[in-house]
Every structure is written in structure tokens, then in C-alpha cells.
Chains A and B, each alone.
Chain A
Amino acid sequence: MTEVVATNETILVVGGGISGMTAALEAAETGKNVVLVEKNPAIGGRTSQLYRYFPKLCHPICGLEINLRRLKSNPRIRLLTMAEVTGITGAKGDYTATIRITPRYVNANCTACGDCAKAVGAEIPNPFNYGLNKMKAAYLPNKMAYPMRFVLDKSIIGTPDADKAKAACKYNAIDLDMQEETVQIKAGAVVWATGWQPYDANKIQPYGYDRFKNVITSVEFERLADPHGPTSGKILRPSDGKEAKNVAFIQCAGSRDENHLRHCSRICCMASLKQTNYVEERYGNEGKSTIYYIDIRAIDRFEDFYAKVQANPNVSFIKSKVAKVTQDDASGDVILHGVNTEGYHRYATPHDLCVLAVGMEPSVKGANIPAEILADSSGFIEADPANGAFFGAGCASNALDVNRSVQSATAAALRAIQVVNRVAKAEV
């Protein structure tokens, strides 16, 4: 599995989200050899954790399925999951990357039958649902995980649970002796597609994400709306499981703020506009949404989408950056305080649930990138000649939506192809 043949004509793609998959596929389909490295046990990244896309409100599963089919049928892509790049040396056209692969304890015999999960007792927080629920410590990362293979969490290794899982497996797929491995591969160019993380909402103190259960983030709200999510698609608030019919959205939670993220994260306005649809979809005319905003930035060609939501009588807009959030302890409701700048009216409005449209922070920021990479003041990778054959793709390079990430990844693939072509010519 981990024997990887790579030369300096190989392209290394770091990150298996929508950007990394796209870059890998585009490069491989032009005939290049690609090594795709993913940290998690399954690829798909944050896109696979969305309930629906804007603007067409279709399900990401559909687009991912097409990409997975391309991936499965392409022998030029070598996929390494649960793998992290720990070091890169060399120069443009001739890199050597060190990759650490953590053990999955499940081999290729796995049929994803789920018998091991039934046998195991221990439970761990489910990262796919942002820890909103728990799952068995022998798990399938998500419903359409690729590779479609279970994982044994390392917390149960050496406990009776691990032995129970091994005994329950009919296919001899569980290998408790798997060890961490380190491999070195050659690459001519590196596409860095490590994506983004939701900004740590605990840092936005006045909004009380760390204190109030009914203050959640927009990515968590996606999971609440998803039928595969922790509430089976019912929008129930975390404190008491009550139906959240009166939902507040706070825009720019962390973005456009010198105290938090300097940049506009671009997707959050469209994400909240989209999420008002989820509320209405579940509760009809009883489902009310209120968006608190500084200004709505419906990027690209999405002004129509904004206009449609604006015309919806179940959605109201309040032009105000919320000053603080408090909680009514008796009802569990959250109360938003601030001033509506249209007329300067002070408000203190209770809502069932408050969704923070958290900003997008590049994963590369502050991360241990094993190479010198030039980044902008927000930590996004710059397109700079000083970066050699390191190319940022998707949200590692800018705050982008899925559509633009795919474009960015295709561009990065083309730049990487140019580098390895030059290497190939030099060697002839």
C-alpha cells in the first residue's frame, strides 16, 4: 500500500479536499503521475461536510461522487490517507518529501460491513459532525467515505475493545500490529491544498460561544441540517433539543476584524443566505431567520440569490454588527444586543438559536509547513516566484467558495504540470 514509486516528474498534492482532488485529477488526466496525501482517513474535506451548496442548493455528494469515480479509474494517482507531510527538501523540479503515515489498523480486506463497530463499546466525539455527537471508536469516517474502509481509533488499541473488534471481523481485515511508517518520495512540484479551518469562535468573547450551548458556528449548523448529521436533519438546538424555529445569523464573526481575521472570508454571507433556506425547508412559515450584517457581500454572480432571500418574508435583515450575546437562563434562549444602524435603534432580541458565520482561516497559517512559503498577512499562500514549485490551491491560497476553489486548483495543477514538463525535457 505504502510503496510509492515517484520521480522528480511526479506532482505531490497535499490535501484531499475538493481543491486537492481537483488538482490531482486534472494533472493525472493529462498523463502526469500524482501522489495525493490526505491527513484524514477519508478524502473529500470540508466540502463533504456541507449539507447543500449555494447557489443551486444541490448536495455536494453528487459532485464528489463524480470526482471519486474519476479518481478510482485513474491509475496515475497514488492516494495516501492518514498521511502528513513532515518535511520537504530540495528545489524546484527536484523535491524530496518526508511523509508520516499513521496506522489505520484496518487493511484492504475491509468490506465496511460494520461488525467491528457493533463489537466495540468505546465512543469518541465524531469529527465529521464537529464533535456534536459521538460515534464508536471503530468507525467509517462518513457515509460515502473513500477509501470505503473502517478505522480503529488509536485510543482503543491495546484495550479489550480492539480484540473484540478483531474477533468480530469476518474478513481478517483488522491488523492490530500496524505501525507508524515514514516514507520519502520525490516530486518535481508541490500543490499545497490544505484548505481552511473555521475561525476559533471561543476567541470572539462577546458572542459567548464558549459559554452558551445555543450559540453554534455555521459549519455546525450545516451538520444539523444534514440528514446524516447528529440530529438526522432536524434543526434542534443543542441545549434542550427544542426545534429551532427562530434562528439568528451573525455575519463577520471573526472576519473583517483587526482583532481576529483581517480579511473578508467571502463565503459566509452566501452561506448564511443559503442556511435561511434550511430553516424554511424544515419549518415552513414558522421558520424565521434574522441576519445581522455589516454589509451583505454576495460575491460573484450571486446577487440574484441575495435578492430572492431578501424578498422572502420569513427572513429579516438587520444592519448591525452585534455587540454581545447573552442567555436567558430560564428558557435557554440567546439574546442579541446591539444597535440597528438604520435609524440607530437599540435592540435586545431573543432567538432560539444563534449561528455565528465564522470566518475562514487558512490551515497553513501557523501550521508547521515543512518549507519556506511566502504568505500574505492573513496566512494565505501567495503566488510568488520565491515559492519555487510550491503552488497554493483552493483555500490555502485565498478565501474561496467551492466553485472558485476548483478553478484555483486547476490553475495550480497547470503550473505544476509546466514545471514537471520542463524537468522531463531537461532529462531527455
Chain B
Amino acid sequence: MSNLSSQAAAQYNNNFLKEVEAMVEEGNWVKMCMQCGVCSGSCPTNFQAGWDHPPQEIFMMIRAGKREEVLNSQSMWMCTSCYNCIVRCPRKLPITHIMHGLANYAHRLGLAPKNQPTRHFAKLFWNNCIQTGRVNELKLSLGLYFKDGFKQGIINGLAMKDVALGLLKAKRLNPFELFKAHGCKDQKGIHAMLKKAHEIEERRKAIKTA
């Protein structure tokens, strides 16, 4: 995977801004940032644990060529998509979209932080929902509980047992879903659609790297 990363870097002559502009969704906006800081000041999650760099610092780091620091960063994974920054940005940068674009790019290159909870959840959610075209909530929550090992999983599960029993009573949770999940009507159609979308995305990326 790191091989893929160094290939991508080499292609842009180690100019990280150019790389971001070409490869990251909405990355061509990064150069427009004038470092006023209104995005950081407006961010509700900024300066919480794990938020190492506010958006305008990330943009400056991109321009300064700090490739590893940016792509390894937790910051863009912390974005909650509240859109406060987009609303207030005086240059109308789509900051939320750039954050997600960067996260996605880091993921593709295998540089995203390994045990990042948002990333873990996103992967779990996606792999879960593409199987039957429906999210299997039981499997999804169990997957989250056991993220940090079997023992921690049991502890997490017990902590939530009252909620689970309540859901069971209200018939909002079916334990047999663990063995046979109910899917959507046209599973073949969903799979064909996802395959097509995957092909289109691969083609688009291929053109960009060509």
C-alpha cells in the first residue's frame, strides 16, 4: 500500500498541492484559502481530543507539502459535516467536502490512521450494507462493540443490555437476524448497480493517474 502512496507522490513530483488538486474531491479549492481562520473558529469539534489540525492549518500544510502529516492526520476523520465552515467561509470553499475528500484519499492510499473510529465505522457500515442492500443493525452494532477485542466487546455489550432488551420487547430487534438477515427485494439489481458505480469510479481514478 505504501508503494501506491509513493507512486502517487512521484507522479506529482512531490508537489503535494498539485497531487491534492488532481486526486482529492474538491481539492482544487485548497489554493483559494486565505487563512482567515473562520472555519476553525466555527468548528464545533475543533480542539476536541484527536482534532490535531483545524481546517485552515490542514490547507496550509498541504501547500507546504507536508504530505505524510496531512494524510496520516486524524483531523478530517473528525468532521461531523455540520457545514458551519462552508456557510461562513468568505471564499466559499467547500471545506466539509474537502475534508471528506482528503479522508477518502488517505484511505485509498492506505495512509489513514489504522484504528480511527470513524474510519472503522465507515468500513463496517459499507461492507455491511452492500451485502443485502440493507443495513443489518445487529451485526453493525456488534461489529462496533468488538472493535477493540473480545473482552472489551463483552463489556460494551453488557453496558448496552437494557437498551437491547427494550428493543427486543418493542419488536425492534430480531436476534435471528444474526443468522439470516432480511435483504431488499432486488438484491441482484443492487449488486449490479454497485458494480457499475465501482467501475465508473475506477475509470475516473485511472484517467486522473494516467
**A: which residues have CB within 8 A of B?**
206, 252, 256-260, 294, 319-324, 337-341, 344, 346
Tell yes or no: B183 within 8 A of A by CB.
Answer: no
Contact between chains at B41 and A338 (CB < 8 Å): yes
Contact between chains at A252 and B90 (CB < 8 Å): yes
Which residue on A lies nearest to B36, using beta carbons? A321
B180 to chain A, nearest CB (A): 50
Residue from A320, A321, A324, A344 within 8 A of B90 (CB atoms): A321
Q: How far is the CA of A310 from the CA of B108 in the complex (A)?
A: 48
Q: At the interface, is chain A mostly helix, strand, loop or mixed?
A: loop
Q: Report A-chain residues with C-beta under 8 Å of the C-beta of B92.
A: 258-259
Contact with A along B8-44 (1 / 0, CB 8 A): 0000000000000000000000000011111011100
Q: How far is the CA of A257 from the CA of B89 in the complex (A)?
A: 8
Q: Report B-chain residues with C-beta under 8 Å of the C-beta of A340.
A: 37
Q: How far is the CA of A344 from the CA of B89 in the complex (A)?
A: 17
Q: Report B-chain residues with C-beta under 8 Å of the C-beta of A256.
A: 34, 90
Contact between chains at B40 and A339 (CB < 8 Å): yes
Tell yes or no: B54 within 8 A of A by CB.
Answer: yes
Q: Report B-chain residues with C-beta under 8 Å of the C-beta of A258.
A: 89-92
Q: How far is the CA of A346 from the CA of B54 in the complex (A)?
A: 10
Contact between chains at B57 and A322 (CB < 8 Å): no
Q: Report B-chain residues with C-beta under 8 Å of the C-beta of A319.
A: 37
Contact with A along B63-87 (1 / 0, CB 8 A): 0000000000000000000000000
Which residue on B lies nearest to A318, using beta carbons? B37
Q: Report A-chain residues with C-beta under 8 Å of the C-beta of B34.
A: 256, 294
Known: A252-B90, A257-B90. A344 touches B38 (CB 8 A): no
Interface residue ranges of B82-128 to A (CB < 8 Å)? 88-92
Q: Report A-chain residues with C-beta under 8 Å of the C-beta of B41.
A: 320-324, 337-339, 346
Tell yes or no: B156 within 8 A of A by CB.
Answer: no
Q: How far is the CA of A259 from the CA of B86 in the complex (A)?
A: 11
Q: Report B-chain residues with C-beta under 8 Å of the C-beta of A257.
A: 90
How many B residues, CB 8 Å from partner? 19
Known: A341-B56, A344-B54, A344-B57. A320 touches B37 (CB 8 A): yes
A126 to chain B, nearest CB (A): 33
Known: A341-B56, A344-B54. A320 touches B91 (CB 8 A): no
Residue from B42, B53, B89 within 8 A of A324 (CB atoms): B42
Known: A324-B42, A344-B54, A344-B57. A339 touches B37 (CB 8 A): yes
B108 to chain A, nearest CB (A): 28
Q: Report A-chain residues with C-beta under 8 Å of the C-beta of B56.
A: 341
Q: Report A-chain residues with C-beta under 8 Å of the C-beta of B35.
A: 294, 341
By Cβ-Cβ distance, the 4 closest A-B pairs, closest first, are: A323-B41, A338-B41, A321-B36, A257-B90
B51 to chain A, nearest CB (A): 11
Residue from B47, B53, B57, B89 within 8 A of A346 (CB atoms): B47
Which residue on B lies nearest to A294, using beta carbons? B36
Which residue on B lies nearest to A339, using beta carbons? B40
Contact between chains at A259 and B90 (CB < 8 Å): yes
Q: Report A-chain residues with C-beta under 8 Å of the C-beta of B46.
A: 339, 346
B44 to chain A, nearest CB (A): 11
Q: How far is the CA of A336 from the CA of B172 in the complex (A)?
A: 46
Q: How far is the CA of A256 from the CA of B56 in the complex (A)?
A: 17
A/B interface sample: 30 pairs, CB < 8 A: A206-B42, A206-B88, A252-B90, A256-B90, A258-B89, A260-B90, A294-B35, A294-B36, A320-B41, A321-B41, A321-B90, A322-B38, A322-B41, A323-B37, A323-B88, A337-B41, A338-B37, A338-B40, A338-B41, A339-B37, A339-B54, A340-B37, A341-B36, A341-B37, A341-B40, A341-B56, A344-B54, A344-B57, A346-B41, A346-B46
Which residue on B lies nearest to A320, using beta carbons? B37
Which residue on A lies nearest to B55, using beta carbons? A339
Contact between chains at B91 and A321 (CB < 8 Å): no
Interface centre among A257, A321, A322, A324 (most CB of B within 10 A): A321
Which residue on A lies nearest to B40, using beta carbons? A339
Contact between chains at B42 and A320 (CB < 8 Å): no
Q: Report A-chain residues with C-beta under 8 Å of the C-beta of B53.
A: 344
Contact between chains at B88 and A320 (CB < 8 Å): no
Q: Report B-chain residues with C-beta under 8 Å of the C-beta of A324.
A: 41-42
Which residue on B lies nearest to A336, using beta carbons? B41
Q: Report A-chain residues with C-beta under 8 Å of the C-beta of B89.
A: 258
Q: How far is the CA of A260 from the CA of B89 in the complex (A)?
A: 11
Which residue on A lies nearest to B38, using beta carbons? A321
Contact between chains at B54 and A320 (CB < 8 Å): no
Q: How far is the CA of A320 from the CA of B90 in the complex (A)?
A: 13
Q: How far is the CA of A319 from the CA of B92 in the complex (A)?
A: 20
B83 to chain A, nearest CB (A): 13
Q: How far is the CA of A294 from the CA of B47 in the complex (A)?
A: 21
- New contact pairs (5) apart from A321-B36, A321-B90, A324-B42, CB-CB < 8 Å: A252-B90, A258-B90, A259-B90, A341-B35, A346-B40
Contact between chains at B40 and A344 (CB < 8 Å): yes
Q: Report A-chain residues with C-beta under 8 Å of the C-beta of B54.
A: 339, 344
Q: How far is the CA of A344 from the CA of B57 in the complex (A)?
A: 8
Q: Report A-chain residues with C-beta under 8 Å of the C-beta of B91.
A: 258
Q: How far is the CA of A137 from the CA of B98 in the complex (A)?
A: 57
Interface centre among A319, A322, A344 (most CB of B within 10 A): A344
B25 to chain A, nearest CB (A): 20
Q: Report B-chain residues with C-beta under 8 Å of the C-beta of A321.
A: 36-38, 41, 90
Contact between chains at A323 and B90 (CB < 8 Å): no
A319 to chain B, nearest CB (A): 8
Q: Report A-chain residues with C-beta under 8 Å of the C-beta of B40.
A: 323, 338-339, 341, 344, 346
